Amino acid sequence: MASDDKTFGGAIAEARKAKGWSLKDLASRVLREDGDAISPQYLNDIEHDRRSPSSDRMVQQFAEALGINQDWLYYLAGRFPSDVRDKGLSQKQVSDLMVAFRGGPGRGKGG
């Protein structure tokens, strides 16, 4: 699969499998807003692109647990981190950022 075709769920599944973790193993490392772990079923839906991460916190936890560049995961999730959203960027600036990320996970911080 070309990097342009990668989805958030695909990246999560690929990284989880590379670590040899089950759905349950990864799900236990990602917490919802109430502090409880997400369910393996919810993670399965994310990996199959039937659901999206419900919060920035969840994207950050996936990045940390799996060792994936956080900015790349935000891009794959189709969103920007809160610090970028809070800057009130113009549409052109947002477009420029999206173009910069299309280079794949080797771009940006820690790629």
pLDDT tens string, the chain, 111 residues long: the values are 444 579 999 999 999 999 999 999 999 999 999 999 999 999 999 999 999 998 899 999 999 999 999 989 988 998 877 766 666 767 677 667 666 666 544 444 433
Query: How many other CB atoms are found less than 10 A from the CB of residue 97?
Result: 15
How far lies 43's CA from each of 1, 9, 10, 86, 104, in Å? 21, 9, 11, 28, 23
The values of phi and psi at residue 85, to 5°, are -60, -35
CA atoms of 54 and 45, how far apart (whole Å): 12
Look up the pTM and report it: 0.73
